[in-house]
Amino acid sequence: MTAIPSETERVKKSLKYSILDGSAYSAMLGLTQDYIVPFALALKATTAQVGLLSSVPNLSMALSQLGAPRLAERAGNRKGLILPVVFLHALLWLPILLVPHLFQDQKIWWLIGFFTLSTVFGSLGNPAWGSMMADLVPEGMRGKYFGFRGRICGLATLIFFFIGGAILHSSAADIFLGFSMIFGGAMIFRLVSWYFLSRMYEPPLSNAKKERYDLLDLLRNMRSSNLGRFTIYVSLMNFATYLASPFFAIYMLRDLKFDYLTYVVIIATAALANLMFLNFWGRRADRAGNIKVLKIASVLVPLVPLLWIGSHQLYYLIPVQILSGFAWAGFNLASTNFVYDASLPEHRTRDIALFNAVNGMAICLGALLGGYLAPKLPSLLGYQLLTLFLVSGLLRGLVAGTVIRHISEVREVPETSTAELLFNAVNFASTRVKSIPQSVFYLVSRFSADKVPSISCWNSNWWHDTTTASRSPPF
């Protein structure tokens, strides 16, 4: 008679499946997230249309998040919502890759329509997924586990981003064939992601965890809660960021006339730095708190678009992108973990949905306003988009300097100075930044040796101890 796996064994396997799911999902991201705008430019999109391509999907995603908790409740369990929407998300890459071949007119509008549907289905299960993952990972180990998972996923994203760039570079004579190949690969990897999600164990939700709250009421009362103020802060930062971020690809490919290889190098530099510093920030967030990490990262994030004004030479932009990867690694990891920490288990799906919805609306408004302003702003050093980068950087600095002071850490953490957090080799001796070859060896050996972080720390009480934040671009 086959023995029934214990709950701990099922959880251990699920967290390994989650890393495999995340790796396949990240392969899809590597083939798509930084190639949608170049795809639109190949279809002769205008600056305003690129703004719509970034804003309309995010607005639709935001609105769909408001109904995600109700859909999860009707599905009966979290995986009952996650699996169907992920499957549809995978299939929607097929019409996207066929846009240049099926439609003679209005190709950009068809792309916006299909990409909007793809974004909605790709994000509709996020609140339920975040709630499920928060139940699987104990509170004190989230920085370590998600840092570990994030580095593996980041490595997968980076590898397939390079592969996508190589495909486009080698298919310059028939660029739409190249795009069809990378988007077709994205569909396959999302189906692989769906498979590993289907193998994961979902911890049961007790009756006490059913969510009976009106998200619109929560939206009106956001300023009265710590998590609500945090949501406002991240949303304002994303608004300021997306004023400019969708248009960096236009600046590189259209204005500076970079080839795809140079474009890949610049994007990959930030991704590489992000990957290298996830462990650095994850351990510090576990020890000193997410808000401390966010305060440091929020000082650096506004510098990135401002530094792009200095030069467009590759030797200059590489260090700027390293700084960007360092800053955004801390910001995104700490933001995600703060949402887990600050939301009660019984309200977590609802809180994640609200967080995603408000952020999606902020991203939409930022991209729309950026697309509207870009052709109307005066030129800076010969480029209108540089003026937009300046506005974005100054606005990010204003948000960072005013809003975050009203948010409190929700965990008990020791007082730690910024210098100690960044440089103290005694308290953070195990948190060194690895080279990429070291990182690859470390990740493979840790995963293959069944050493997924936090498993050794589990006990029978961890169940009671919580989305990923919207991915911010490397600019």
- Residue 427, judged by CB atoms within 10 A of its CB (0-12, 13-18, 19+), counts as middle
Query: Can you state the angle between helices 47-65 and 348-373, rounded to 10 degrees?
Result: 160
- Which tops the pLDDT comparison, 62 or 268? 268
- DSSP codes of every residue in 116-182: HHHHHHHHHTHHHHHHHHHHHS-GGGHHHHHHHHHHHHHHHHHHHHHHHHHHHHHTGGGHHHHHHHH
Q: What is the DSSP letter of 225?
A: S
What's the total number of domains in the chain? 1
Range with lowest mean pLDDT among 58-62, 116-120, 330-334: 58-62
pLDDT at 454 over 60: no
328-371 pLDDT tens trace = 988 988 888 888 777 777 677 777 778 888 888 898 899 889 98
pLDDT at 309 over 80: yes
Q: CB atoms < 10 A from the CB of 469, how many?
A: 21
Nearest to 282 by CA among 304, 301, 297: 297
Phi, psi of 383 (to 5 degrees): -130, 130
Q: Tell me what pLDDT residue 473 has.
A: 60
Q: Kindly report the length of the chain.
A: 475
- Cβ-count burial 365-388 (b if 16+ within 10 Å, e if not): bbbbbbbebbeebeeeeebbbbbb
Dist CA 325 CA 277 (whole Å):
8
Q: For residue 156, is it within any domain?
A: yes
Q: For residue 270, is it within any domain?
A: yes
Residues 334, 407 contacting (CB under 8 angstroms): no
Q: For residue 207, is it within any domain?
A: no
Task: Tell me what the mean pLDDT of segment 95-110 comes to.
Answer: 90
Q: Tell me what pLDDT residue 125 has.
A: 83
- Residue 396, judged by CB atoms within 10 A of its CB (0-12, 13-18, 19+), counts as buried
Q: Tell me what pLDDT residue 25 has.
A: 93
pLDDT grade for 3, boundaries at 50, 70 and 90: low
As a whole number, the mean pLDDT across the chain is 80
pLDDT at 433 over 90: no
Q: For residue 342, is it within any domain?
A: yes
* CA 399 to the chain's CA centroid: 20
5-45 pLDDT tens trace = 677 788 788 888 888 999 999 999 999 988 998 999 999 88
Nearest to 406 by CA among 255, 262, 294: 294
Residues 131, 353 contacting (CB under 8 angstroms): no
In the chain the first and final C-alpha atoms are separated, in Å, by 56
Q: For residue 375, is it within any domain?
A: yes
Q: What CATH number does the domain containing 430 carry? A: 1.20.1250.20
Q: Which residues contact 362 (CB under 8 A, 6 or more apart)?
A: 235, 236, 238, 239, 242
pLDDT grade for 196, boundaries at 50, 70 and 90: very high
Structure token digits, residue 309: 């004004």
Q: For residue 440, is it within any domain?
A: yes
Instruction: Supply the range of the domain harboring residue 432.
Output: 8-202+215-451
Range with lowest mean pLDDT among 257-266, 355-364, 390-399: 355-364
Q: Tell me what pLDDT residue 427 has.
A: 47
Percentage, residues of the chain above pLDDT 70: 81
Phi, psi of 232 (to 5 degrees): -60, -40
Structure token digits, residue 246: 């969708």
- DSSP codes of every residue in 238-290: HHHHHTTGGGHHHIIIIIS---HHHHHHHHHHHHHHHHHHHHHHHHHHHHH-H
Residues 240, 362 contacting (CB under 8 angstroms): no
Q: For residue 2, is it within any domain?
A: no
Q: For residue 86, is it within any domain?
A: yes
